[in-house]
């Protein structure tokens, strides 16, 4: 069951600010989604291997060969703020 | 009554080592895996986490992970997958790190250490998993600057069980692990460059207690010695907190090398809610038994097996053997020398003495200089044959490494051949005696120990070229015949 606190916690982890009316609505939405998904629990999967990926593919590699990078100018061009070739962000210290 | 009871505590330590793998390219994209370049010059849409980009696993990084896993006695898992570890911090442009959660490359290994009583002790390794490194943050006064060059560097995280019981054991484990890994050529294992990093989990409990105490995690130690010191500090902190009736708070603490103290990071608890889930952008990987055997076959003889063999096969001391096995290339060089020259003790002395000094002063590795094993043994032979004094031979070695030329050529060029010719030596001794009449008189009166001084004078006169043994004999003869 999804509680209001769960929604607030997820919002906080996702850095999303919610208005009061959104909290109630999202609580209901998430609850509905989980309830729907719960239907899967009725299936007997005792003979099914756990699946981590839906595609029938495995061992997709690349060789260890260098491909030219974007370069500093192109890389930081997309940034809102730059300094000394670096992305500039608000001060963060853990 | 308030009686102080001395309690005996046991320390419990587990270590997490992050090893940067020395592949040419990053783990999930083709950007060069290099240290020290201009900020953000080695980036692409994948390692910048741009929408629509897709990671593809570097085959070599998986092979390096398997190789390292095998060397630390792990089982290689036949089916592996990657997972997303979610956390929000600007060193990680995607807001998640691609790591491995429940199906890592390798698990259930061990490394041996020698414990404080001198007994062999097995330190279990829980797992080794592949993941991508994060970027580098530089904190300015008003902002933080982000460099994503390191983002996507392949890392192998090696996690022990909480089997270590003292800071010294932790230190020994790290030494042994590093040495083993260095033999594999999968990483340069350079702690200063950050290619090998270590975090430590530590708790204490009363002796006899089987439940683990509350642990703290220590980060930010930049040498093995710092790991040991930080653990020692943390043990005394735990003891004083518990001793005063308080409880240890489970938290991450940063080691401050300049203050020699650990400080709480005071991060929010929610920061550890990583919400792992399977990485949908990467398919699973199946490692065949054949492939594992092939990689196993590529692992050279590992340092501790080599140590035992050297002591047995060459009957050299454990002390000498330990120095030689510190470097795989040097141990090969030693064995090559032993093929050309019989007295292995002398080879050890030359390698562990002059050669290592030469390498240290040049900050070079053996593989970076031009010196053949045969050439070194020829040089040692020349000292035996009294063509060169020991001192002159050391100079010749320096010139050999500088120029890449053979001993013969250098002796000729520099005129370093030892003077063993009796007539030449007699002249030199006569000069020395004339200049040191007082000492000569003392020797005549029986002060034999002063002969060494006169030999030294003769050596000085000839820039180390005189044969010291012969000089000594001539001095004795001359003084007794007078």
Write out pLDDT tens, residues B330-343: 999 999 999 999 99
Average pLDDT, chain A: 91
Closest partner residue to B60 (CB to CB) among A15, A64, A93 is A64
Contact B59 A62 (CB under 8 A): yes
Q: Which helix (H) or strand (E) holds B202?
A: strand B196-206
Write out pLDDT tens, residues B381-415: 998 988 888 888 998 999 999 998 888 888 888 77
Confidence of residue B463 (pLDDT cuts 50, 70, 90): confident
Q: How far A80 CA sits from the closest chain B CA (Å)?
A: 13
- Provide residues of A within 8 Å CB-CB of chain B: 9, 12-13, 15, 52-53, 55, 57-67, 69-72, 75-76, 78, 83-94
For A21, the domain range is: 1-44
Q: For the residues B4-15, what does the mean pLDDT come to? A: 84
Task: Dig out the tokens for B310 from the structure.
Answer: 């050297």
Q: Please give the pLDDT value at position A52.
A: 82
Q: How far B189 CA sits from the closest chain A CA (Å)?
A: 20
C-alpha span between B148 and B44 (Å, rounded):
10
Q: How far B460 CA sits from the closest chain A CA (Å)?
A: 57
A80 inside domain:
no
CB contact at 8 A, B412 and B399: no
Higher pLDDT among residues B404 and B11, named by residue: B11
pLDDT at B172 over 50: yes
Closest partner residue to B142 (CB to CB) among A78, A84, A91 is A91
Write out pLDDT tens, residues A24-78: 999 999 999 999 999 988 999 999 888 888 888 999 999 999 999 999 999 999 8
Contact B88 A15 (CB under 8 A): yes
Q: Please give the pLDDT value at position B469.
A: 82
Confidence of residue B271 (pLDDT cuts 50, 70, 90): low
Contact A58 B284 (CB under 8 A): yes
Higher pLDDT among residues B449 and B66, named by residue: B66
A40 inside domain:
yes
CATH of residue A37's domain is 1.10.20.60
Average pLDDT, chain B: 92
Q: For the residues B31-42, what does the mean pLDDT come to? A: 96
Ordered by where they begin, the domains of chain B are 9-292 (no CATH), 301-414 (no CATH), 422-481 (1.10.10.410)
Give, to the nearest 10 degrees, the angle between helix B422-435 and helix B451-461.
110
pLDDT at B2 over 50: no
C-alpha span between A64 and A61 (Å, rounded):
9
Write out pLDDT tens, residues B195-249: 999 999 999 999 989 999 999 999 999 999 999 999 999 999 999 999 999 999 9
A2 inside domain:
yes
Task: Dig out the tokens for B6 from the structure.
Answer: 């001395």
Confidence of residue B104 (pLDDT cuts 50, 70, 90): very high
Number of domains in chain A: 1
Confidence of residue B478 (pLDDT cuts 50, 70, 90): confident
Q: Please give the pLDDT value at position B1.
A: 44
Max CA pair span of chain A: 58
Among left, alpha and beta (phi > 0; psi -120 to 50; other), residue B140 is beta
A86 inside domain:
no
Confidence of residue B355 (pLDDT cuts 50, 70, 90): very high
Percent of chain B residues past pLDDT 90, beyond the cut: 73
């Amino acid at each position: 069951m999804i509680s209001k606190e769960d929604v607030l916690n997820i919002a906080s982890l996702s850095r999303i600010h919610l208005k009061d009316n959104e909290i109630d609505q999202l609580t209901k939405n998430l609850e509905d989604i989980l309830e729907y998904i719960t239907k899967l629990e009725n299936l007997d999967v005792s003979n099914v291997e756990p699946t981590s990926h839906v595609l029938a593919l495995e061992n997709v590699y690349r060789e260890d060969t260098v491909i030219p990078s974007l370069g500093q100018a192109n890389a930081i061009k997309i940034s809102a703020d730059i300094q000394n070739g670096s992305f500039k962000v608000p001060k963060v210290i853990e | 009554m308030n009686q102080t009871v001395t309690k005996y505590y046991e320390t419990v330590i587990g270590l997490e080592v992050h090893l940067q793998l020395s592949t040419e390219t990053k783990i999930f994209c083709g950007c060069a895996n290099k240290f020290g370049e201009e900020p953000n010059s080695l980036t692409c849409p994948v390692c910048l986490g741009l929408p629509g980009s897709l990671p593809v696993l570097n085959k070599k990084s998986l092979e390096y992970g398997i190789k390292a896993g095998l060397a630390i006695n792990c089982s290689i898992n036949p089916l592996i997958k990657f997972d997303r570890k979610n956390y929000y911090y600007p060193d990680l442009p995607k807001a998640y790190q691609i790591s491995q959660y429940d199906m890592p490359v390798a698990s259930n290994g061990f490394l041996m250490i020698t414990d404080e009583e001198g007994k062999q002790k097995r330190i279990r390794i829980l797992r080794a998993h592949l993941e991508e490194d994060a970027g580098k943050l530089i904190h300015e006064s008003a902002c933080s600057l982000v460099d994503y060059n390191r983002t996507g560097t392949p890392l192998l995280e090696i996690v022990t069980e909480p089997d270590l019981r003292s800071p010294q054991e932790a230190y020994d484990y790290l030494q042994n692990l590093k040495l083993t890994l260095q033999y594999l050529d999968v990483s340069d294992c350079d702690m200063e460059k950050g290619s090998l990093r270590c975090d430590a989990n530590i708790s204490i409990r009363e002796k006899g207690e089987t439940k683990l105490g509350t642990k703290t995690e220590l980060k930010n130690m930049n040498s093995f010695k710092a790991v040991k010191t930080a653990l020692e500090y943390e043990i005394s902190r735990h003891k004083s907190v518990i001793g005063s009736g308080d409880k240890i708070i489970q938290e991450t603490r940063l080691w401050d090398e300049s203050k020699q103290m650990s400080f709480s990071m005071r991060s929010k608890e929610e920061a550890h809610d990583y919400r792992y889930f399977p990485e949908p952008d990467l398919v699973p990987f199946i490692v065949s038994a054949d492939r594992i055997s092939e990689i196993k076959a590529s692992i050279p003889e590992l340092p501790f097996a080599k140590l035992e063999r050297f002591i047995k096969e060459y009957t050299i001391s454990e002390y000498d053997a330990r120095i030689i096995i510190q470097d795989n290339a040097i141990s090969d060089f030693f064995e090559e020398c032993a093929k050309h020259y019989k007295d292995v003790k002398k080879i050890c002395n030359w390698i562990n003495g002059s050669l290592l000094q030469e390498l240290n002063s040049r900050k070079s590795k053996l593989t970076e200089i031009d010196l053949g094993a045969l050439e070194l043994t020829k040089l040692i032979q020349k000292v035996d044959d009294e063509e060169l004094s020991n001192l002159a031979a050391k100079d010749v070695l320096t010139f050999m490494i500088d120029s890449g030329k053979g001993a013969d050529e250098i002796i000729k060029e520099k005129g370093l051949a030892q003077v063993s010719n009796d007539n030449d030596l007699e002249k030199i001794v006569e000069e020395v005696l004339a200049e040191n009449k007082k000492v000569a008189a003392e020797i005549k009166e029986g002060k034999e120990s002063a002969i060494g001084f006169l030999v030294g004078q003769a050596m000085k006169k000839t820039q180390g070229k005189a044969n010291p043994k012969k000089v000594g004999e001539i001095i004795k003869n001359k003084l007794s015949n007078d």
